[in-house]
Structure 1
Amino acid sequence: MAALLCDIQPGDEVILPSFTFVSTANAFVLRGAKIVFVDSIADHPNMDESLIEELITPKTKAIVVVHYAGVPCEMDGILSIATKHNLWVIEDAAQGIDSFYKEKALGSIGHLSCFSFHETKNIQSGEGGLLGINDTDLIRRAEILWEKGTDRAAFFRGEVNKYGWVDIGSSFLPSEVTAAFLWAQLEELKSIQSRRLSIWDSYFQLFDKGSTTTEILSETYQKLLSQASGKIDITWQRIENKGNAHMFYLLFQNETERSEFSTILKNEGVLSVFHYQSLHKSEYSKKHFPDQYLRELPNSDRYSDCLLRLPIFYELPEVSML
C-alpha cells in the first residue's frame, strides 16, 4: 500500500538499506522500481544517513528507512535530505512498535510507516501488519486501496449513493479473529514491554564486562561463556540503545567465531539465529540490479556474517533456559 500511495512507477528509484528483510524491497520491486542500496553505519545495522544524498538521482522517488531492532534511524537528517529533494519517506517500523525517536513514536515521523505483527515481533497475530499514514493527503486514497479499489467506505458514510470500482486495490485487511487476537496484546503492551526490557537488561549486564549479572539467564549463560572462553576469542559488540527490546544480538569478529558460539548454544539446547543476508549480494540483485550487486557495502556484509541473535520472548524462563 505504501508503494501504491507513493505512486511508484517502473524506472523509479527507491533508496533503502541492504541489511533488511526482503519485504522492504519487494513492495517497490513489484511496482517496477529499481532498488538502490545504502550501507549500514559502523556501530549499528541501521542505514548510514550520511551516504544517502550521493545516491539520489533525478529518478529517485523515495527513501525507505528500517528501524532495525526497534532502534531509530537518524530521522532529522533523513527528513532534511528528503525535503531538499522532494522525496517520500517511508518508515519500515516492522520491529519498531513502542519505540521512540526524540519522544516521537517510530512510525509517526515519515509520510508513511509499516509495522509487522509477524510471530517474531513484540506483539503478534501470526502474520499481518499496519500501515501508518502521516500525510493527510493520502488518507482518502488509502481507504480506497484498502477497500479493494472501491469507494465502499464513502458509501457507508452516505457520501455517495452507490459504490463502485474507482482505483486499483487489494485485500489488505485482517480478519476479525486476527484483529481480536492482536487487540488483546495491545491491551497488555505495557506489561509485555516491561518483561522484554527486563530480559534485555539481564543480557546486557551479563555480556557487559565487569558488571554484576541479574538472576535472569545468568546460570545458563555464565556456563556457556565458560565453555566458549577456551575456544573463541569472544570480542562482541552490543548497542546500548535497547530501543523496544525487540532483540538482543552479539556481533562477533568473524563468521567462524559466530558459528562456533552458535554451536555451543545449540549443544546446550539454546536456539540462536543469524539474521539478514545483504540484499545487494543476492541472486536477485545479481540478475536485476547488477550495478548494485557489484557495489561494496562493507558494514552490511559484516552484519550478515557476524551478527547472532539470542532468544528473547515474553515467557523466556528465568535463571536457566536449559
Structure 2
Amino acid sequence: MPFNRPYTTGNEIGYASEARLARHLSGDGQFTKRCHIWIEERTGCAKALLTHSCTSALDLAALLLDIKSGDEVILPSYTFVSTANAFVLRGAVPVFVDIRADTLNLDERLVEAAITSRTRAIVPVHYAGVSCEMGSIIEIAERHNLKIVEDAAQGIMASYKGRALGALGDLGSFSFHETKNIISGEGGSLLVNDPELVQRAEIMREKGTDRGRFFRGEVDKYTWQDVGSSFLPNEITAAFLWAQLEHAERITAGRLANWNRYDEMLAPLEQRGVLRRPIVPPECQHNGHLYYVLLQSDADRSRVLSELKQHGIGATFHYVPLHSSPAGLRFGRTHGELSVTTALSERLVRLPMWFDLSEAQQQRVCDALRAILLS
C-alpha cells in the first residue's frame, strides 16, 4: 500500500485536449483564468496568480516584498525547505521559532520576542491543513508593522474562524503538488490579499513586464517595468488543475471522511497511551490533508516504520527540522531552544492517505500499527 495515490477526476485529459485545440499552450489562457477566478471567489483574496509550484509562489512573495540582504523573517523550523529558501535567496536570515505541541504550528506566543529591528515578515505554516493561531499573529504583525506571508501549501479548502487559509495575511501560497489534496502534478498559486500589491505582483510574475495590462487593452504595448521572472505555468497544467478545482468540495469531503475514520479507529490506541492523535482547535476547519500519529517519546520510530513496510504499508516520517540541517545552520538562526520541534519531529509518523482510500485499507493500517505498538 503506497503512502499516496494521486487522484484524478476524469476530466483532466479532456481539458488538456481543449487547451491544445484552442492553440494556447503557454500561460494565462482560458483555464488559468478559470482557476484564478475560482481561487479568488473561494478564498476572497484580491488576486490569485498560478505559479509553477508553491515554492515559486513563495519566491515571488519574497521578491514582491523587497526582501533584502540582512533582513530577518520569522518562521517555524518544522516546515519544508521552500519556506526558508524563498527568503534566503533574497539574502534574508530565517529566524526559527518553536512550534506548538498541539497543532505542530508556529507557536504564536514566541513570535514577538523573536522580533528585532531587522525583522520584515512572519511566515506561518499551516501544518496538515490546520490553521496557525492567525488572530494573534495578525495582531503582532500589525503592532510591529510586519508583513505576513502564509505558507498554506497544505491548506486549500481549510479555514480559520470561517476565513480561508492563504487569504489571511498580506500574501499566501498554495501547492498543487501530486501529494496535496488538489493537484496538477506540480503547481502552485500566489494569493495577493493586499490590493496595493496586485499590479506589481502581476508585473513580477510576467518577467517584470506589464504584459497583462497589454492583453487587457490597458496599454498599447508592454515593456520592462520592474524586476521579475517567469512564474507562469503552462496551460496544460492549468487545465489539469481546473478539472480538480471543479471537484474540490467532493475531494475535500472524501479526505475528511478518511481522516475521521482513522481518528475513530486509533482512539483506543491513544487511550492505551501508545500514541497521540492529531489535535484540531475548534476555530480551525481543516481539510483532511494528512493523518499523523505521535509515538511515545521512548518508541523506536525507525522500527515502527520498518515493520509497517514489512506489512506492505508505506507510512513515513515528515520534516527534518530546518534548524538542525546543514543549510539551516549556515543561513539561519534559532530563537530559543526549539525543544518541542526537536522532540515531536522524531516521534511523528504519517499514515497512508488519499481520496479513495478504502475503509478496509485503513483498517489494515490500524491493525498493523496496533500489533507493532502493543507487541
Whether the TM-score (by the shorter chain) exceeds 0.5 is: yes
**1:139-173 CA distance string (max 9 Å, x none):** 00001011111111122223222211111111111
Residue 288 (structure 1) aligns with:
331
State the one-letter code of the partner of 2:315: S
Q: 1:172 to 1:104 in 2, by over 3 A?
A: same
- Output the CA distance in 2 between the equivalents of 1:236 and 1:13: 34
The runs of 4+ residues in structure 1 deviating greater than 4 Å are: none
Q: Quick one: structure 1 residues 14 and 130, their matched pair in 2 at CA, closer, same or farther if it must change by over 3 Å?
A: same
- Alpha-carbon distance change, 96 to 310 in structure 1, aligned in 2, over 3 angstroms: same
Task: Return the match for 2:242 from 183, 186, 192.
Answer: 183
Give 1:256 deviation, angstroms.
4.1
List runs of 5+ in structure 1 lacking aligned partners: 212-228
Match of 1:226 in 2: none
Q: How does 1:1-322 map to 2 (within 5 A)?
A: 1-209=60-268, 234-240=274-280, 243-254=286-297, 256-289=299-332, 291-292=333-334, 296-320=337-361
* CA apart distance, 1:318: 3.0
Measured after TM superposition, the shift of residue 305 of structure 1 is 0.5
Cα deviation 1:210-233 (Å, max 9, x = unaligned): 99xxxxxxxxxxxxxxxxx9xxx7
Supply the AA of the counterpart residue of 1:238.
P
Take 1:93 and 1:181, find their aligned partners in 2: how far apart are those partners? 20
Does the 8 A contact of 1:255 with 1:305 survive in 2?
no
Moved more, 280-289 or 120-129: 280-289
TM-score normalised by length of structure 2: 0.77
Residue 240 of structure 1, CA deviation: 4.2
For residues 267 and 210 of structure 1, the distance between their equivalents in structure 2, rounded to whole angstroms, comes to 21
**Percentage of identical aligned residues:** 53
Instruction: State the SS of the aligned residue for 1:61.
Output: strand
Q: Secondary structure of the equivalent of 1:25?
A: helix
In 2, the alpha carbon distance for the partners of 1:315 and 1:108 equals 29
The AA in structure 2 aligned to 1:89 is I
- Stretches of structure 2 lacking an aligned partner (at least 5 in a row): 1-59, 365-375
Contact 1:237 1:252 in 2 (8 A): no
1:10/1:33 contact within 8 Å kept: yes
C-alpha distance in 2 between matches for 1:108 and 1:152:
25
Report the count of equivalent residues.
300
Shift of 1:43: 1.6
Q: Return the alpha-carbon distance in structure 1 between the equivalents of residues 134 and 203 of structure 2.
A: 29
CA root-mean-square deviation: 1.8
Q: Which has the higher contact order (CA 8 A, sep 6+)?
A: 2
3-state SS in 1 of match to 2:268: coil
What is the TM-score with the length of structure 1 in the denominator? 0.89
Q: How many Å separate the matches in 2 of 1:9 and 1:80?
A: 24
SS where residue 123 of structure 2 aligns?
A: strand
Q: Using the TM superposition, give the Cα deviation of residue 260 of structure 1 relative to its aligned residue in structure 2, in angstroms.
A: 2.4
